[in-house]
């Protein structure tokens, strides 16, 4: 039987990702740019509602649910403990991690969730994550008290302690969490806010192999929900790809489901591309939208064209790029770069290309 969680009480305007009428202005200080290639996606669409998702490990309990008024499926953490997604091996020195986090109302103090980039001695025993010599961990909850700690070679040194309002006054809304690793450096963003930027967060010689989510004191009084877990690898090389090679493919421009509305967390990628266009005043590009194969081919073709047009409009309105330098087109599902039968393949097929003309 399908289980539906009614969530209207805590799906406030924060669930709109703080977007205003222009869609992305609230993210004007957001400089996060996703990795070049998507390698892991956990959206739970292939998991049965009511089951614990395949590809995850835990010493606690959880189940896949749907939430009234929200697209997709969510992993509900129904018992406190550790939850570890399969990330397909070790973590490279350049990667980005993103996920959506939702909390129920009313918030219960003492209930928080930690995210850790960890070097586990045994990946089959994630409960030992707190004893790992090499880890970077940040903790948060909807009332905004957050902190992070760093352990280098067993020292347990504290790196940063922050008190803010990651969910702000809109307690209970969806929070988009973005983590950006560049070798030793780690940046963490809550929605449009950069919360931490720690240059020496990770040990350069460590073999980080796990992402561990630890939920404290989950239960019927307060629950966390997670969705759209996405790991991408490789440092983006926008300038070289666009100027030298003449073609840039990005998976960092995201849209609402079945919509041409650009999501706010796309701002960093758009800003990066706009910067290259401003530095190269003679550069003209064709913007080409691509979709996965879900749905009808004709609808996907139309959607890809509208998404390309939305990207053009954003570059013009937000960054002042001359319309004469931008043309648009869409290919729908006709030119996949990956298989369309997995969440990862679909994520890689949903992309925007910029081709030098």
Residue 16 sits in the same domain as residue 153: yes
Residue 100 sits in the same domain as residue 208: yes
The model carries a pTM of 0.87
pLDDT at 166: 59
Residue 209 sits in the same domain as residue 246: no
Question: Residue 313 carries which DSSP code?
Answer: H
pLDDT at 171: 43
Range of the domain at 168: 4-233
Sequence-distant (6+) residues with CB within 8 A of 169 are none
Residue 229 sits in the same domain as residue 244: no
Closest listed residue to residue 11, CA positions, set 184, 128, 172, 241: 172
- Among 181, 215, 233, identify where a domain stops: 233
- Tens digit of each residue's pLDDT (9 = 90 or more) over 272-293: 999 999 999 999 999 999 999 9
Residue 262 sits in the same domain as residue 223: no
Residue 13 sits in the same domain as residue 140: yes
Residue 220 sits in the same domain as residue 272: no
3-state secondary structure of 229: strand
- For residues 36 and 228, give the distance between their C-alpha atoms in angstroms, rounded to a whole number: 17
Residue 118 sits in the same domain as residue 193: yes
- Among 233, 249, 275, identify where a domain stops: 233
The residues that bridge with 40 in the sheet, in sequence order, are 231
Using left for φ > 0, alpha for ψ between -120 and 50, and beta otherwise, residue 206 falls in beta
Tally of domains in the chain: 2
Residue 273 sits in the same domain as residue 212: no
The residue ranges of the chain whose pLDDT is under 50 are 1-22, 168-171
Provide DSSP, 10-74. Answer: T--GGGGTT--TTSSGGGTT------SEEEEEE--TTSPTTSPPTTEEESSEEEEEEEETS-S-E
CB 312 within 8 A of CB 288: no
Q: What CATH number corresponds to the domain at position 186? A: 2.60.120.560
Q: In the Cβ-directed half-sphere of 350, how many Cα atoms lie within 13 Å?
A: 22
pLDDT at 112: 86
- What CA–CA distances, in Å, run from 183 to 91, 156, 232, 234? 10, 20, 14, 11
Helices marked H in 72-203 — which ranges? none
Q: What CATH number corresponds to the domain at position 258? A: 3.30.1330.60
- For residues 179 and 172, give the distance between their C-alpha atoms in angstroms, rounded to a whole number: 21
CB 253 within 8 A of CB 352: yes
Residue 195 sits in the same domain as residue 307: no
Residue 49 sits in the same domain as residue 64: yes
Sequence-distant (6+) residues with CB within 8 A of 267 are 24, 27, 28, 30, 192, 318
pLDDT at 74: 97
Residue 42 sits in the same domain as residue 171: yes
In the chain, the N- to C-terminal Cα span, in Å, equals 53
By CB atoms closer than 10 A (0-12, 13-18, 19+), residue 281 is exposed
pLDDT at 161: 61
- Among 213, 233, 253, identify where a domain stops: 233
């Amino acid at each position: 039987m399908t289980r539906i969680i009614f969530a209207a009480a805590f799906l406030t305007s924060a669930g709109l990702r703080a977007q205003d009428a222009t869609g992305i202005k609230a993210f004007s200080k957001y400089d996060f740019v996703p990795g070049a290639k998507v390698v892991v996606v956990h959206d739970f669409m292939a998991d049965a509602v009511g089951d614990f998702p395949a590809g995850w490990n835990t010493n606690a309990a959880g189940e896949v649910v749907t939430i009234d008024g929200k697209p997709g499926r969510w992993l509900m953490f129904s018992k406190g403990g550790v939850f570890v997604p399969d990330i397909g091996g070790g973590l490279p020195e350049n990667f980005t991690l993103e996920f959506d986090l939702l909390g129920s109302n009313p918030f219960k103090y003492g209930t928080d969730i930690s995210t850790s980039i960890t070097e586990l001695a045994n990946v089959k025993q994630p409960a030992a994550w707190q004893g790992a010599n090499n880890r970077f961990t940040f903790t948060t909850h909807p009332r905004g008290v957050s902190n992070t700690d760093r352990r280098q070679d067993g020292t347990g040194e504290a790196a940063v302690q922050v008190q803010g309002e990651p969910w702000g006054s809109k307690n209970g809304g969806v929070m988009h969490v973005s983590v950006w690793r560049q070798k030793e450096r780690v940046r963490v963003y809550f929605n449009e806010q950069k919360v931490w930027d720690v240059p020496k967060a990770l040990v350069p010689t460590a073999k980080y192999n796990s992402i561990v989510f630890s939920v404290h004191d989950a239960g019927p009084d307060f629950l966390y929900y997670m969705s759209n877990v996405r790991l991408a690898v490789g440092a983006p090389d926008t300038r070289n790809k666009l100027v030298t090679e003449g073609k840039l493919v990005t998976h960092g421009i995201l849209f609402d489901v079945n919509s041409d509305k650009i999501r706010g967390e796309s701002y960093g990628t758009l800003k990066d591309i706009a910067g290259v266009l401003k530095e190269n005043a003679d550069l003209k590009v064709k913007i080409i939208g691509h979709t996965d194969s879900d749905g009808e081919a004709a609808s996907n073709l139309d959607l890809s064209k509208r998404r390309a047009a939305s990207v053009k409009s954003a570059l013009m309105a937000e960054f002042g790029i001359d319309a004469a330098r931008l043309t648009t087109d869409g290919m729908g599902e006709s030119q996949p770069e990956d298989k369309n039968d997995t969440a990862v393949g679909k994520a890689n097929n949903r992309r925007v290309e910029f081709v030098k003309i």
